[in-house]
Amino acid sequence: MTLAMNAIHPVLWGADQVLLIDQNRLPQTYCQVAISDYEAMAQAIKTMVVRGAPALGIAGAYGLYLGARAIQTEELGVFLAHLEFIADTLRQTRPTAVNLSWAIEQMLNVAYTSGEDVAIVKEKLLAQAHQIREADLQTCQAIGEHGLNALPPRPEKLTILTHCNAGALATAGYGTALGVIRSAWAAGRLARVYADETRPRCQGAKLTVWECVQEGIPVTLITDSMAAHCLQQRRIDAVVVGADRIARNGDTANKIGTYSLAVLCMMHNVPFYVAAPLSTVDFRLQDGTQIPIEERDPSEIYQIGDTRLCPEGADFYNPAFDVTPAQLITAIITERGALEPSQLLTLQGE
Ligand code: MRU
């Protein structure tokens, strides 16, 4: 089945509930899951029905509204105490992507500044969740445009490698890294995408390839360990990845395997770009050592489907993200332009 690009909306509001594309079932099955309470949203985030930093923010915002609407009180103080509990539950679902806690802060801010009438506060929370979603579409399009201008001028048609999925599925519907790629494709500057498989959960193979195929963008799938060889063979002109959290000095957490790509780019003199909205920058953190790294269930690495890959008796370590030091990053592409990591601080407060 092929969908029109504008049909990829991973988080949508409809008929008084949230509709999530079930990303665990792609590419075999495209289906939506209806979420009508915050517990179900927390579970969908933990189990990665919805994933990708900006999409997590949008899902968290709607999740908080779903929790808010079920609170049965007219007393603002009681309402806010319940809301803080729900906010904590949602924040704890996935710790690395700062967009989740960023969006929840935006929502709480609305709750604390919308007067005494709980019914009105609830209405404003829903409006804020819609606003966060709509703003992300505009933001990603701006990232796409700035990224297009930041790409190397030669060759005319670029081959770009990306890691994980930072596409429509990871945002409101356009993508950050894949947004840059999409803009390059529309401008006639893209020859081909190389998609890293992205073990252990294979978001590259399952989701990035799916998105490229939907749009007719030529895509070549490689396993993560083939990237070094491809760079050495000069098959790749640029690497563009997304981000889950960026510290104020530009150190960037993204899907595990991103750091090794950045080292490879340095070795082979290939530009390495991070594309992310400003909501992914955590100006409270001095550097990447302060970014919390999520560890996930070891079954993600010791089995594929129902098949166990290794004998019993081993221990496991399954970090979901790594941190790329700022000095390996050519530019961070935000909705305000493409900057060297050291210039990031000039955007604080925007
Ligand atoms: O574990 P995931 O699938 O949520 O990880 C996603 C990534 O690492 C993306 O690159 C990042 O969130 C940016 S999405 C625009």
Domain boundaries, the chain: 5-139, 146-347
Tell me how far the alpha carbon of residue 76 lies from the centroid of ligand 1, in angstroms.
36
pLDDT tens digits, one per residue of 292-349: 999 999 999 999 989 999 999 999 999 999 999 999 999 999 999 999 999 999 999 8
In single-letter form, the type of residue at position 231 comes to: L
Ligand 1 within 6 A of CB of 257: no
Domain 5-139 homologous superfamily, CATH: translation initiation factor eif-2b, domain 1 (1.20.120.420)
End-to-end Cα spacing for the chain: 41
The predicted pLDDT at position 179 comes to: 98
Question: Looking at the domain that runs over 146-347, which CATH code has it been given?
Answer: 3.40.50.10470
Tell me how far the alpha carbon of residue 299 lies from the centroid of ligand 1, in angstroms.
19
Could you tell me the pTM of the whole model? 0.97
The DSSP annotation for 61-101 comes to HHHHHHHHHT---S-HHHHHHHHHHHHHHHHTT-SS-HHHH
What are the φ/ψ torsions at residue 279 (nearest 5 degrees)?
-65, -10
Ligand 1 within 6 A of CB of 224: no
Ligand 1 within 6 A of CB of 173: no
Ligand 1 within 6 A of CB of 322: no
User: Average pLDDT of 29-50?
Assistant: 98
| Residue 306 is among the residues annotated as catalytic for this protein | no
Q: Write out the H or E segment, with its range, that includes residue 32.
A: strand 32-35
pLDDT tens digits, one per residue of 84-121: 999 999 999 999 999 999 999 999 999 999 999 999 99
Tell me how far the alpha carbon of residue 78 lies from the centroid of ligand 1, in angstroms.
35
Q: Are 334 and 278 in contact (CB under 8 A)?
A: yes
What are the φ/ψ torsions at residue 96 (nearest 5 degrees)?
-85, -50
Six-digit token pair at 293?
């790294």
Nearest Cα to 162, choosing from 16, 274, 12, 315? 274
The predicted pLDDT at position 350 comes to: 77
pLDDT tens digits, one per residue of 182-202: 999 999 999 999 999 999 999
* Residue 3 pLDDT > 70: no
pLDDT tens digits, one per residue of 226-270: 999 999 999 999 999 999 999 999 999 999 999 999 999 999 999
Six-digit token pair at 304?
């594929």
| Mean pLDDT rounded to a whole number for the chain | 97
pLDDT tens digits, one per residue of 260-304: 999 999 999 999 999 999 999 999 999 999 999 999 999 999 999
Nearest Cα to 137, choosing from 98, 160, 108, 170? 170
